[in-house]
Structure 1
Amino acid sequence: MASQQRNKWIPAVAAPVIVGVIAFGGGLTANAQTDLPDRSAEEVLALAAGHHDTSFSGTVEASFALGLPPLPTRQGPERGEPEGSSAAGATGAVPEGLAEAFSLLSGTHEARVFADGADRLRMQVFDGTDERNVVRNGQEVWAYDSAEGRATQVILPQGPDGASTGHGMARAPEGDMTPERLAEKALAGLDPTTEVTVGEDTRVAGRDAYTLRLDPRTPDTLVEDVTLAVDAATGAPLSVRVRAVGQEDPAISVEYTSYSTETPDAGLFEFTPPAGAEVERVRPDGGMWPDAHRSGPRGAGGHPAGGDAVLGSGWDAVAVIPAEKVPAGLTDSPLLDQYAIDSAAGRVLSTPLATVLLADDGRVLAGPVPLERLLDVASSR
């Protein structure tokens, strides 16, 4: 049962890859006009960089138009469906974490976010009458899924200064569904391959905001541009939208629809599993919620310890995952037969903002790039 619960929270290879490579923006449509003091791109970047360890609460709406299929998480028909129905057997069973990730990266989701500094966080993602919670209170992190009746607890280790380490909420799949996390990823990778400009002032969730636009200076990417709304008073990212090459509407839109800088009630960060919930307690190094940033030790040439490689940086970066680290159920999933296309080097899954190559030699290559770049990387290594 422990492994079953852990799989609920571990996206398969495609999940952290897609989450990571789509953390870039698109065209922001102002919901009201405002007139703020002029600031340069460098000044707005500094404003955003100065936002940290704040207290706030808000409602986030996240919309994804990535063309990802709905995936079943087990063999057999849905409840009430007859055995052998097309709905039940269209794709066959797939890893539960992969289905979870595809679900989170499809359609529109609403979430409530609460924060009191860096180590008191709560996120509630709603799915009809069901709810997923990720709660961090200091070193303690809980994840609870009401649909499954399961709760998982992790105690984060302490750093040298006595503070608990790790982002907590960001380690769960839901944690990337906030403007803060997406903006953090986009801004952390700024380099000369990105043109940064200031757009028109706007209002998001009733708050005045500056608009930053990031344009790739490389043709080897699927990302058209990035647009972020930065709170003029606090520097908090209020909105991130993603536009893919050749598309007018955003492929990703994550923004606050309400936002308050008042400190949330302390009781929101206290979590007790409901009566009857199945509870699992795991170690932070037990494989749960892998960090998509791969912030651990790296070897020469930018290769993370363990054999993975990230070639390039920013818009045209390609992650190369060795065959021995690819989940066994991924390459033989019936999902590939239905959605993958054949190429000269293997099978390909693509979205408007990411391409994944399951190479014939067992490796997985992925990035926010066209297939041609993946093929070039695969043939050069």
Structure 2
Amino acid sequence: MAETRKASRFIVPVAVAGVAAATIGLVPALAASGDPDLPEITAQQLIEKIAASDTQTLSGTFRISTDLGLPLGGLTSALGGIGGGAGGDSSADPSAKLTELVSGSHTLRIAADGPERQRLTLLDGSDEYSLIHNADDVWAYDSKSGEVFHEKAPADAGAPDAGKDAPKDKELPGTPKQLADEVLKAAGDTTSITVDGTAKVAGRDAYQLLIKPKQAGSTVASVKIAVDAANGTPLKFTLNSVEGGKPVVDAGFTKIDFSKPAASDFTFKVPEGAKVTEGAAEKAAEEAEGATGGPFGGELPGGLGEAFGLGAGTGEDGVNVIGEGWTTIAKLDTGAPAPRTDEAPKEVQGLLDSLGDKVDGPFGSGTVFKTKIVNALLTDDGRVYVGAVTKDALVNAANADK
């Protein structure tokens, strides 16, 4: 435990400012060879179609692949699985389990019946992990360990793709709608938005919305959102880095059905002999009314929003915002010298050295820790500059902030 606590000091803080606002392009969709031949539509009209979408029911198979350019599995192992929630003693705890979606490729089954009932099943070979929200209860079951996690759901818990009135921060993580909503939540002059043809996604005709930063210095090359031509539901979300290669996030349905799922999809019975762990929200609710929290509360499990460059911490005390739009940088002054990597445990030291680039300038000296989308400059005097921007942009911001 002592080694784990020591290792935790060397985690680089990642709190990225919100994704930039967008300018609405007026380029109509043109069908390419082999793609659906759909009526022309402008980006403005397509965004209005997304906003008007009121999909309440769906079921389907969902595939998400994430490549941050960071060996998150090795980092998690080195840090002893730091980051679990209040139910961290259970392998079924969603706050720990769903961090797996931040790296690698995963197949999920999703079902939703309005804001009261949702089910997500993460498939891993013959093993399954299920997260079920049914009215007042949230259940999670890990078939590999046979453990169960139970928590009372907040009163306003929403569903993935459950409609425009569902609170975005209460949706299950990683669905195309949740990701699309984050990107399209504001408007401004820092972004180009156009319609980039059509496509077939999960057997559905779809328009493709293409979003690109206009500003130099962002690590985001583009965001592409495939939108169901019939009902405006986002079906696929792709985030590309200026580094090229595999997408940072490629999340989309491979099968989808918008009919009402069976009620049995949202029922759960504790298997005989299973260990049941009660979550913090339920324990608090037993002591006082109005307790909130749990896997649908506050923010996406496992910091997914931050890892994807979505959902900022810029409103928190101690965080200052530099710049605007896609090149926004969050600055945090820790007030303490940065830890020396040569003092870190061996399993952490090599990882930090491989991830970090030593830099210096008028600001002093420090280390830039890199992923394909989020970079962070940790100065030797304890300042942190972080954003979905290039290394040079971070150094320039630190120099200007001297």
TM-score range, shorter chain: 0.7 to 0.9
Q: Choose the corresponding residue for 1:268, options 260, 265, 268.
A: 265
Q: Is the counterpart of residue 342 in structure 1 residue 358 in structure 2?
A: yes
Unaligned runs of 5+ in 1: 5-11, 75-90, 159-163, 295-301
How far residue 15 of structure 1 moved from its aligned partner, in angstroms, is 7.3
SS of residue matched to 1:95: coil
Q: Choose the corresponding residue for 1:95, options 69, 82, 91.
A: 82
Q: Which residue of 1 aligns with 2:46?
A: 44
Q: Choose the corresponding residue for 1:371, options 383, 391, 397.
A: 391
Question: d(CA) in 1 for partners of 2:377 and 2:294?
Answer: 24
Q: Choose the corresponding residue for 1:306, options 304, 317, 320.
A: 317
Q: Which residue of 2 aligns with 1:77?
A: none
Instruction: Give the alignment of 1:12-161 within 5 angstroms.
Output: 33-69=35-71, 70-71=73-74, 73=76, 91=78, 93=80, 95=82, 97=84, 103-158=100-155
Question: d(CA) in 2 for partners of 1:259 and 1:233?
Answer: 13
Structure 1, residues 83-116: CA drift from partner, whole Å, max 9, x if none?
A: xxxxxxxx56462559967742322111111111
Instruction: Give the alignment of 1:252-331 within 5 angstroms.
Output: 252-274=249-271, 275-283=273-281, 285=292, 290-291=298-299, 303-321=314-332, 323=334
Unaligned runs of 5+ in 2: 5-10, 23-30, 85-94, 162-167, 282-290, 307-312
Q: Is the counterpart of residue 176 in structure 1 residue 173 in structure 2?
A: yes
Question: d(CA) in 2 for partners of 1:50 and 1:367?
Answer: 31
SS of residue matched to 1:176: coil
SS of residue matched to 1:234: coil
Question: d(CA) in 1 for partners of 2:217 and 2:269?
Answer: 48
Number of aligned positions between the proteins? 333
* Residues 245/339 of structure 1: CA separation in 2 closer, same or farther (3 Å cut): closer
SS of residue matched to 1:71: helix
Structure 1, residues 50-94: CA drift from partner, whole Å, max 9, x if none?
A: 1235100111111223322132655xxxxxxxxxxxxxxxx5646
* Residues 358/100 of structure 1: CA separation in 2 closer, same or farther (3 Å cut): farther
How far residue 255 of structure 1 moved from its aligned partner, in angstroms, is 1.2
The two structures, once aligned, show a CA RMSD in angstroms of 3.9
Quick check: 1:31–1:204 contact (8 Å CA) kept in 2?
no
SS of residue matched to 1:200: strand
Higher mean C-alpha displacement, 146-155 vs 182-191: 146-155
How far residue 355 of structure 1 moved from its aligned partner, in angstroms, is 0.9
SS of residue matched to 1:38: coil
* Residues 32/113 of structure 1: CA separation in 2 closer, same or farther (3 Å cut): farther
Which amino acid in the other structure matches residue 318 of structure 1? I
Larger Rg: 2
Structure 1, residues 339-359: CA drift from partner, whole Å, max 9, x if none?
A: 333333433321222212334
* Residues 137/361 of structure 1: CA separation in 2 closer, same or farther (3 Å cut): farther
How far residue 21 of structure 1 moved from its aligned partner, in angstroms, is 6.6
How far residue 262 of structure 1 moved from its aligned partner, in angstroms, is 0.8
Question: d(CA) in 1 for partners of 2:319 and 2:122?
Answer: 31
Q: Which residue of 1 aligns with 2:192?
A: 195
Instruction: Give the alignment of 1:211-290 within 5 angstroms.
Output: 211-247=208-244, 249-274=246-271, 275-283=273-281, 285=292, 290=298
Quick check: 2:109–2:120 contact (8 Å CA) kept in 1?
yes
How far residue 224 of structure 1 moved from its aligned partner, in angstroms, is 1.0
Provide the TM-score with structure 1 as the length reference. 0.73
Question: d(CA) in 2 for partners of 1:247 and 1:71?
Answer: 23
Provide the TM-score with structure 2 as the length reference. 0.70
Question: d(CA) in 2 for partners of 1:227 and 1:318?
Answer: 23
Question: d(CA) in 1 for partners of 2:333 and 2:268?
Answer: 39
* Residues 377/136 of structure 1: CA separation in 2 closer, same or farther (3 Å cut): farther
How far residue 228 of structure 1 moved from its aligned partner, in angstroms, is 0.8
Which amino acid in the other structure matches residue 111 of structure 2? F
SS of residue matched to 1:267: helix
How far residue 33 of structure 1 moved from its aligned partner, in angstroms, is 1.3
Quick check: 1:57–1:112 contact (8 Å CA) kept in 2?
yes
Structure 1, residues 298-344: CA drift from partner, whole Å, max 9, x if none?
A: xxxx952433344444422223445389xx9x995714244333333
Question: d(CA) in 2 for partners of 1:236 and 1:364?
Answer: 38
Question: d(CA) in 1 for partners of 2:32 and 2:82?
Answer: 40
SS of residue matched to 2:123: strand
* Residues 15/99 of structure 1: CA separation in 2 closer, same or farther (3 Å cut): farther
Question: d(CA) in 2 for partners of 1:99 and 1:277?
Answer: 17
Q: Choose the corresponding residue for 1:353, options 373, 386, 390.
A: 373
Amino-acid identity (%): 33
